[in-house]
A and B are shown apart, each in its own frame.
Chain A
Amino acid sequence: MMGSSFIKTRHLKTRHIALFTAIGTALVVAPLLMPDNYWLRIYGMTGLYVMLALGLNVVAGFTGLLDLAYVAFFGIGAYLFAFLSSNHFGIHLPFLLVLPISALITMGCGFALGASSIRLRGDYLAIVTLAFSQIFKLLLLNLNQPINITGGVNGIYNFDPIDIFGLKIMSPQAYSYLIWCFAMLVIVGSFRFKRSRIGRGWEAIREDELAAEVIGVHTTWMKLMAFAGGAFVAGASGTLFASFQDSVFPNNFDFAQLVVIYCMVILGGLGNITGVVMGAILLSILPEFLREYGAYRMISYGLILILLMAFRPQGILGEVGFFTKPKKRPEKDETGILRASTDLYYPEADLPTWTEGPRYTRGDHPVLEVKNVTMNFGGLRAVNDLSFSLHEREILSIIGPNGSGKTTLFNLISGIYAPSTGHIFFKGKEITGFKPHRIAKAGIARTFQNLRLFNNMSVLDNVKVGQFCRTKSGPLSIHLGSALHKKEERETERVAKEILGLFGTRLAGYRYDQKAMFLSFANRRRLEIARAMSTHAEVLMLDEPSAGMNPQETIEMTDFIKKLRDRYGYTILVIEHKLGVVKTISNRVIVLDYGSKIAEGSYDQVANHKPVIEAYLGRERN
């Protein structure tokens, strides 16, 4: 077993080495093979488009933010080079200084744009960023008077030649080497980011922003990082572009340019790095072969967008990539017996021995305290002056008719809503009004009643996202592949697999790489729990964990919840409608009706409580 996996990784390594050698040789040889300077220029522009497309891929592909100001960042980078390295203002800084300066300033602009529009989503974000890019272009066109800053329509030209430690970059050949060096940096960076905590955080935001926040991803910060990261790449490409073209005009940064970059990203598939690189290369070179149809170029971009969205929204390459592992679906195990996902009881022996600690018992002091919490929505009081406490290692069930405020209570504790009045304490510290990601980090994790998994991410990645709030690697350490990052990645993978292993073969093995949306309903519920556990929470809040499960699966889930408490020491707050489940697992039960607590105690006490019976069945006629 160990041997075979070892060989497999070796095999993957040799494959990678072969690939890297091939790419390296191609990059060295390609400029020498170009027939003339015209094609060398196209080759250079292709490198720039690869960079631009990958930068946009961070914002639009990974994070799912429709940023239509992207081309403005490209422009800012270009104009900064024009300002800082030409006769225009008489400033002549060396290229090696201008490049980081303009990339960083552009990043700052991206950060500012992100910060101002951070609360907007989808269409609104698109329109605000579009308005920003329009303002940018209007400024470029009109800021040539009263004092000439941007040169208006005529732009700025004649820049200082690039001089890298005495090495002058003048010929198109030298430029193509330089540009492709940076393009490779961006490509490698993209791959590293995609397989890092930050990449997973971004993708989680794209899939379900609220779920990402609740599971511990600092969504505001991550979105800002996506904006800033995209802008950084765009700014650097802009600087290179300005020097390459030796001039900048407002037209270089108009809406059509943005559409071209978007088409590249979408053709390759949003978020698919290999695809995006291919898309950029294809759309930079193809128009050259179709020059006589040049007039139809923009028309075809429009058609590309419409048709791809209708027929292949995942891009031409779809799920294919250089670095994706071959898919395996062992429907049969080694003995040839068919394995179905509906296999019920898995043998107890299959379970890995995961922190098989002492059997836990209920502690005496409260972990979570809710004090006089009230929540009003307009005129509706969803939760009314509710107080209770949750003790260490107990299962407290919340029951009540529909609309009695159970889920609102969960939303209050997990920080989605701030209570109108009242306080919530976790281990003695007040957490009232904390953002959800801070609550997750403090140690409270939850599941959702109507399943909010990251559907387009793999099962393993879904669980790995939960580790976001326990890991620290920043962008630099990810791009450089630092020891800290590698260690954290290994640890994240280990923990994720261990947690998934708790569900037997249900979510393990070939399922690791399966997208969450292909799981059965019951498995998705299990995955939600696994994801919540992965945050290293102490308190789990399960919102109807057995809803939609058949009786067999319900029994299994009941056992599992008990095991979570008894064997792994979790403290659990659970909302459940199936009273059989409630009876089996609960240490205590709280009954809510119209937002108020009408009973609290053991299951038997509560079940015989008259107001509870009335709330469920109605008042007896006298």
Chain B
Amino acid sequence: MIGKLRPLVWLLLALPALLMLYQLASGETFAFKLLHPTGELALRLMVLALMVGPLIAIFGRNRFLLGWLALRRNIGVAAFIYGLLHLVFYVMDMAAIGPILDEFWLPGIWTGWLSFALMLAAATISADWAVKVLGPWWQRVQYAVYGAVLIGALHWYWLDNNAGPALVHLAPLLILWALRGVIKRNRRARKKAREKEHLA
């Protein structure tokens, strides 16, 4: 089922990028204006990729969530591609290495680079063979995306001087992580109680 859906999902994920590149090529827009939409999409897609894990932990496995899980790697790669476009448009806008280095250590800038580096780490091993070769290490490297999403949100906050938009984007994840924590704790407590009963 997902196999048939995958090309359609790819098309859907690629559509905003194609539109942006078309607008750029036709002179309708310019690199600076595309910084915001690409960064926002990268963050949104990362959130979308990370949401499914806690959702399954909370609601259990169902067809919808399993389908979402099967597409998670595609969503993650798309997030990386929008992050890469974000960086490309940034370099296009700055147009020289001097000013890029000059502002590297500003809080709003190094956070963007760091978030991208973490995404890069996760994205470079996104191929099927890498999943097989790396075994348990694959999952460990993917945890970098947690850092990428949080630092990416910090990058947005420090650039904008406004926590609102970044926090709204993080909110679904923060809520789900909190709920997963609560549910896991409850389950553990119940299990312990049952074991105690058993022993008594």
Say whether A associates with B.
no
Binding site for A on B (CB under 8 A): none
Binding site for B on A (CB under 8 A): none
